[in-house]
Amino acid sequence: MNNHHLNRRQFMARSTKAGASILAACSISYWFYDSAGPARSAQDTTEVQIPDFSMPQIGQRMSIVRGGSRSETLELALKSIGGMPAFIKKGDRVLLKVNAAFASPPMLCATTHPDMVAAITRLCFKAGAASVTVTDNPINDPASCFRLTGIEQAARSSGATVLFPQKEFFKPFSLEKGKLIRNWPVLYEPISRIDKIIGTAPVKDHHRSGASMIMKNWYGLLGGRRNIFHQDIHTIIKELAMMIKPTLVVLDGSTTMMRNGPTGGSLSDLKETRTMIVSTDQVAADAFGATLLDKTVDELAFIKKAESMHLGTADFKSLNPIMESI
């Protein structure tokens, strides 16, 4: 028993030291990174179009798997709804949109876990994908974020290309029927060169929107001074879901950030929920994710707003999700 307590104390002490080092690194990167984020070039005046990457011909599918490791639950969840080959075909160029917003270690669950990046990438290639590109436009310095989260190493070791945002990658875009996304710079370069898009994110509390999951994760495709959208956070999340209609979404509820989101910073903010959600319906995925946060869809206005635009259903049970356990 004493050895157990000693090991736990050692672990916590090392975690604290590691956290302090990482926070120091974050602080340095913050001062050297332009918080305004990349904006489009001055000569860019022609607005781009973003295609619909969904696959309506296969219908709405959803699976929820509890228990096991991330790779185990992901594989079973995918298998339950047809496997990755149902979504990724031979020769497809795939964009994997991760959450790499912060220069934070994987154990704090503020970003997409590297195990998710590796597993999804491998499954895409196994299904015949020609390429997988991993990207995000982080809040902190991109190089630091992708390195410290473990995402860069996981992606490259699995054969994916990691694309850091650069000014010339952003193009102006106006959302049809949009209120906020009007002539706004979006990370268009990777979108212009793909056939399918997969979004993956952890389940987290968020101090403004109440939760950060799949739909909020598309925020990382915006450039410019996007923080102004926090004044109308639920509307911008709805519009992001209007902007990106994904092929597939993977919501990682293995460990849920219950409080102090979206950055967290302490292991005490986390709860082991051991759940993986895979769906073609991003609204339904977020609706189920809310339950892991002990919240209802009525507490998360962006879910209802997205549903009102016919982007998916807030009643995830209506999809008759396949439920499995490991």
Total residue count of the chain as it appears in this document = 326
What average pLDDT does this structure show over 274-303? 98
CA distances from 199 to 9, 168, 252 (A): 37, 23, 11
What is the Cα–Cα distance from 11 to 183, expressed in whole angstroms? Answer: 49
Q: What is the pLDDT of residue 16?
A: 43
pLDDT band (50, 70, 90) for residue 38: low
Tens digit of pLDDT for each residue in 140-169? 899 999 999 999 999 999 999 999 999 999
| Helix ranges, 96-244 (H) | 114-126, 142-148, 151-157, 188-191, 214-217, 233-243
* Amino acid 45: pLDDT: 67
Higher per-residue confidence, 161 vs 23: 161
pLDDT at 39: 55
30 band by pLDDT with thresholds 50, 70 and 90: very low
Q: What is the pLDDT of residue 46?
A: 87
- Please compute the mean of the pLDDT values over residues 4-14 and round it to a whole number: 40
Residue 292 identity? L
* Per-residue pLDDT at 14: 43
pLDDT at res. 4: 36
Q: With 90 as the cut, is the pLDDT of residue 189 above it?
A: yes
- Across 166-189, average pLDDT: 96
For the chain, list the domains and their CATH numbers.
33-325 (3.40.50.11440)
For residue 8, name the pLDDT band (cuts at 50, 70, 90). very low
What's the pLDDT tens digit per position in 94-136? 999 999 999 999 999 999 999 999 999 999 999 999 999 999 9
The torsion angles phi and psi of 113, rounded to 5 degrees, stand at -70, 140
pTM for the model: 0.88
**pLDDT beyond 80 at 18:** no
> In the numeric block, which tokens belong to residue 192?
């212009």
